[in-house]
């Protein structure tokens, strides 16, 4: 690239500013914020040749300047999420007072009874809520919850736990996610946000906990985990999804100030494999341990597994 194209920071201009490259231990991810999509891959030669950026320009130059190490940034949008845990109409009604008073745009309702769900769907219609999710157990789920499209207009996603099967259906514009286990605690590709805002925000805050508050029968409380970024947490700091991951697990800290999670994620960044994919191994099987006592990793063991899974880079 000729020198007159260099900017003040002596870096080439970014030809595709909506694309961000995030490198993990093994895998790589291109966040395409224009299309709210992500392209994950392991080796550059895996990228489809139709990805025109690779046809003429060296990838390092393209992505030079992408590591935006902001100390302070102005986030061009505000995320405000309220989690509501309510067993009766009173809690739901009180939560709507907060939602209406401070214009909460995003809500997650954790409810027990079908009747309460109808009630909150109706209440949401004339509220400031732009989008909401409902979490409930399979024994409370009935398809008639979704039969009136107009009533569900603010409902984006319905999580149905303790289901006899895993499945995803779309009914009247609502994504219905049937999950065999109990509440979602580890991420999947459904919990990634491939946006420019998330990419920036993730550098200083935790995407899931940022501006998230909880309301239950004990009142309103604010969560403090929002200041722990994925870069601060062992394992996640080496994952290419760290700039778009909405992981809801509770982060824990060790006495030396480092951070870890108690449970394993569904993604293993050391071998670039999701649980359920062929060749997947747990972190423990790869010789990676992260718990209250510390973090340890067996690079040789991982190299052997990657050799078997992916061959030579």
- Judged by the rule CB under 6 A, the positions of this chain that interact with ligand SF4 are 187, 230, 235-236, 239, 241-242, 245, 247, 265, 267, 269
Question: Which CB sits closer to ligand SF4, 56 or 263?
Answer: 263
- Whichever of 119 and 230 has its CB closer to ligand SF4, that residue is 230
Instruction: Please give the C-alpha separations between residue 245 and each of 8, 12, 121, 152, 296, in angstroms, as whole numbers.
Output: 32, 29, 28, 27, 23
- The smaller minimum CB distance to ligand SF4, of residues 132 and 233, is found at 233
Shortest Å distance, C-beta 251 to ligand SF4: 10
Residue closer to ligand SF4 by CB (options 145, 245) is 245
CA 83 to chain centre: 16
Taking the least distance from each CB to ligand SF4, the nearer of 105 and 187 is 187
Q: Using N-to-C axis directions, what is the helix angle for 114-125 and 89-102, rounded to 10°?
A: 20
Beta-bridge mates of residue 294? 291
Sheet of 219-222: strands edge to edge? 167-171, 174-178, 155-161, 131-137, 106-111, 81-86, 212-216, 219-222
As measured in angstroms, the least distance from the Cβ of 191 to ligand SF4 is 8
Q: How many CB atoms lie within 10 A of CB 99?
A: 23
CB of 1 to ligand SF4, least distance (A): 33
Query: How many Cβ atoms sit within 10 Å of the Cβ of residue 110?
Result: 19
Residue 261 beta carbon to ligand SF4: minimum distance, rounded to whole angstroms: 7
The least distance separating ligand SF4 from the CB of residue 26, rounded to whole angstroms, comes to 12
DSSP string, 257-277: S-EE-SS--SEETTTTEETTS
Pick between residue 107 and residue 272 the one whose CB is nearest to ligand SF4.
Answer: 272
**Least separation, in Å, of the C-beta of 16 and ligand SF4?**
23
């Amino acid at each position: 690239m000729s020198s007159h194209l260099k900017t003040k920071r002596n870096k080439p201009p970014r030809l595709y500013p909506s694309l961000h490259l995030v490198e993990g231990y093994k895998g790589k991810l291109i966040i395409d914020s224009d299309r709210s999509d992500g392209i994950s891959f392991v080796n550059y030669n895996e990228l489809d040749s139709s990805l025109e950026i690779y046809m003429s320009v060296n990838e390092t130059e393209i992505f030079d300047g992408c590591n935006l190490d902001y100390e302070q940034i102005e986030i061009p949008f505000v995320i405000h999420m309220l989690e509501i845990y309510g067993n009766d109409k009173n809690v739901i009604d009180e939560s709507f007072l907060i939602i209406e008073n401070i214009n909460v745009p995003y809500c997650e309702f954790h409810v027990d009874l079908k009747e309460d769900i109808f009630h909150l769907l109706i209440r949401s219609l004339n509220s400031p809520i732009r989008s909401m999710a409902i979490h409930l157990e399979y024994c409370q789920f009935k398809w008639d919850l979704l039969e009136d499209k107009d009533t569900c207009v603010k409902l984006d996603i319905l999580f149905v736990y303790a289901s006899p099967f895993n499945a995803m259906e779309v009914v009247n514009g609502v994504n219905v996610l049937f999950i065999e286990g109990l509440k979602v605690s580890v991420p999947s590709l459904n919990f990634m946000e491939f946006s420019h805002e998330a990419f920036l925000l993730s550098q200083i805050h935790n995407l899931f906990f940022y501006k998230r508050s909880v309301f239950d029968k004990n009142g309103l409380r604010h969560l403090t985990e929002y200041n722990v970024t994925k870069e601060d947490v062992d394992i996640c700091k080496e994952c290419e999804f760290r700039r778009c991951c909405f992981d809801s697990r509770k982060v824990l800290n060790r006495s030396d100030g480092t951070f870890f999670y108690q449970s394993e994620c569904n993604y293993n960044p050391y071998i670039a494999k999701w649980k359920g994919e062929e060749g997947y191994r747990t972190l423990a099987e790869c010789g990676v341990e992260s718990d209250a006592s510390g973090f340890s990793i067996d690079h040789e063991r991982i190299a052997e597994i990657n050799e078997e899974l992916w061959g030579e880079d």
